[in-house]
Amino acid sequence: MAKNKLNKNWLHDHINDPYVKLAQKEGYRARAVYKLKEIDENEKLIKPGQVIVDLGSTPGSWSQYVRNKLSGKVGGGIEGTIIGLDMLQMDPIADVHFILGDFRDHKILRQLEVILAGRKVDLVLSDMAPNLSGIASADAARMEHIIDLAVEFAQGHLKPSGALLVKCFNGSGYSQIVEKFRDEFKTVSPKKPKASKDKSSEIFLLGRGVKNPISLQKVLSDS
């Protein structure tokens, strides 16, 4: 009974969520888009001509937003390159390259390199999160592992002036994640957009300027 009540409460909150309604109205696949939108508007992250990688892109709302920001090219299309990667299938988005698979996998990285054609990336986005167990220490370790993977990916692919935006949780293990970011990026700032629910510990970290880039050869050899 308690579980059914929780499910009903969640469904009620979800249906009445203003960001859910706005996403439906504006044609976005998830309310998460407004978290990226607010951060982007404040930080001026996304600009025409950029190469942007969206890690854990499915269902695609962040890629949709990036696509809209890079659109406006004469004759249609976009000015820039967007690449989404996920282990779950994503419905196609115009002008977005999607790669299905684990970005640690050698074959997947090879597919990515074909699209990049020797170019470095301006911005890496990660809205990835683990399946939470409710055990704080285990969940913190899983979240830290996912962020480690995103940081390593960024080190191997970002321009020296590039940026990485990741989701994390302000709780057990958070201070260690912030410390790691400060070790690897020249500037680090936490972001709590309005679309993140008040009761959620969700927070985003933005790192700019890679301190310790990794050669592509090392990334491929380690994959």
Q: Give the CATH number for residue 144.
A: 3.40.50.150
Structure tokens at 222: 């380690």
Tally the domains of the chain: 1
Q: Active-site residue 167, yes or no?
A: yes
Give the structural domain span for 180.
33-222
- In this structure, how many other beta carbons lie within 10 angstroms of the beta carbon of residue 53? 30
Q: Is 102 annotated as a binding residue?
A: yes
Q: Is the dihedral of CA 77, 158, 37, 173 positive or negative?
A: positive
Q: How many CB atoms lie within 10 A of CB 151?
A: 25
**Phi/psi at 157 (5° precision):** -125, -20
- Within-domain flag for 175: yes
Is residue 186 situated within a structural domain? Answer: yes
Confirm whether 74 is domain-assigned: yes
| Residues 4, 35: Cα–Cα separation, whole Å | 29
Q: What is the pLDDT along the chain (223 residues), one digit of tens a residue?
A: 555 554 655 455 556 789 999 999 999 999 999 999 999 999 999 999 999 999 999 999 999 999 999 997 766 789 999 999 999 999 999 999 999 999 999 999 999 999 999 999 999 999 998 887 888 888 889 999 999 999 999 999 999 999 999 999 988 889 999 999 999 999 999 999 999 887 788 999 999 999 989 876 655 566 5
Q: 60: annotated binding-site residue?
A: yes
Inside any domain, residue 20: no
- DSSP β-ladder status, 185-191 and 158-169: unpaired
Is 98:90 a contact under the CB 8 Å cutoff?
Answer: yes
Q: Which of 37, 167, 191, 197 is catalytic?
A: 167
162 is in an annotated binding site: no
40 annotated to bind ligand:
no
Distance CA 199, CA 17 (A): 14
Cα-Cα-Cα-Cα dihedral sign, residues 149, 172, 164, 77? positive
